[in-house]
Amino acid sequence: DAKTTQPTSMDCAEGRAANLPCNHSTISGNEYVYWYRQIHSQGPQYIIHGLKNNETNEMASLIITEDRKSSTLILPHATLRDTAVYYCIVRRTGTASKLTFGTGTRLQVTL
Amino acid sequence: GAVVSQHPSWVICKSGTSVKIECRSLDFQATTMFWYRQFPKQSLMLMATSNEGSKATYEQGVEKDKFLINHASLTLSTLTVTSAHPEDSSFYICSGGAGIQETQYFGPGTRLLVL
């Protein structure tokens, strides 16, 4: 699976949009971009994933560049409860396709 | 999203004893589950892939005789830490895949402390 690069940490004011970037320049054509987050002392929570089109759900939006070498996770109105480590992972779909976690981005949402 | 549970949520045991951790998929069936562990201030590290009805596959450096995995049904995988030692103290997390694309959903984790 392709490796990803994320900033180590970011800050965001509550109520503002949080934009978390991820580089995955070696992504293959059959690999999806997945985003998870881990709030302290909990298991990772699935947020969103996409192949090449932009995706939106109740939690976030995922913007993938046309060349698929990078993406941005957008939390439209960050709250204090969004403070967590966010992981961007590229992965082939399928039963045996595991997730390889990097170091992620620690997002701190402040008042 | 799909729900995965783990039991127990935390456990304290004496050195040399064995500890069993259960991972259940509550609203989906999982032919494959994954087991991870996470040490303080570190990321998740994959330990093994649990396959229903067959042997688990272990990542390099993970002792299969120490971390016994059983995946006897499509909704239950167990991880047994045998002869636990203080260095096995960690946060153990499982995941299972749901949906056409087998999106992985994670359990809440089990915190193990070996004294």
Q: Could you read off the pLDDT of B1-42 as tens digits, one per residue?
A: 799 999 999 999 999 999 999 999 999 999 899 999 999 999
Closest-CA residue of chain B to A91? B103
A52 pLDDT above the threshold of 90: yes
| pLDDT band for position A73 (cuts 50, 70, 90) | very high
**Widest CA span of chain B, in angstroms?**
43
Cα→Cα distances B35→A24, B20, B22, B50, B70, Å: 25, 13, 11, 7, 11
Mean pLDDT of A44-51: 96
What per-residue confidence (pLDDT) applies to B114? Answer: 97
A1 pLDDT above the threshold of 70: no
Q: Who wins on pLDDT, A96 or A43?
A: A43
- How high does pLDDT run on average in chain A? 94
A2 pLDDT above the threshold of 80: no
β-strand B10-13 against B110-114: which pairing, if any?
Answer: parallel
- Which two structure tokens, joined as six digits, stand for A76? 């439209």
Instruction: Give dist(CA A73, CA B39) in Å, integer.
Output: 26
What per-residue confidence (pLDDT) applies to B1? Answer: 73
CA angle centred on A32, ends B91 and B97, rounded to 5°: 45
What per-residue confidence (pLDDT) applies to B84? Answer: 97
- Which two structure tokens, joined as six digits, stand for B58? 């272990």
Mean pLDDT of A5-31: 96
Chain B residues with beta carbon closer than 8 angstroms to that of A32? 101
Q: Which residues of chain A from 59 to 98 reach within 8 Å of chain B, CB to CB?
A: 87, 93-98
The whole-angstrom distance between B106's CA and the closest CA on chain A is 6
Mean pLDDT of A78-85: 97
Mean pLDDT of A14-31: 95
The reply to whether omega before B8 is within 30° of 0 (cis) is yes
Instruction: Give dist(CA B101, CA B104) in Å, integer.
Output: 9
- Asked if residues A38 and A45 have their Cβ atoms less than 8 Å apart, the reply is yes
What per-residue confidence (pLDDT) applies to A92? Answer: 86
Give the single-character DSSP code of B55: -
**Inter-chain CB proximity B106 and A44 less than 8 Å:** yes
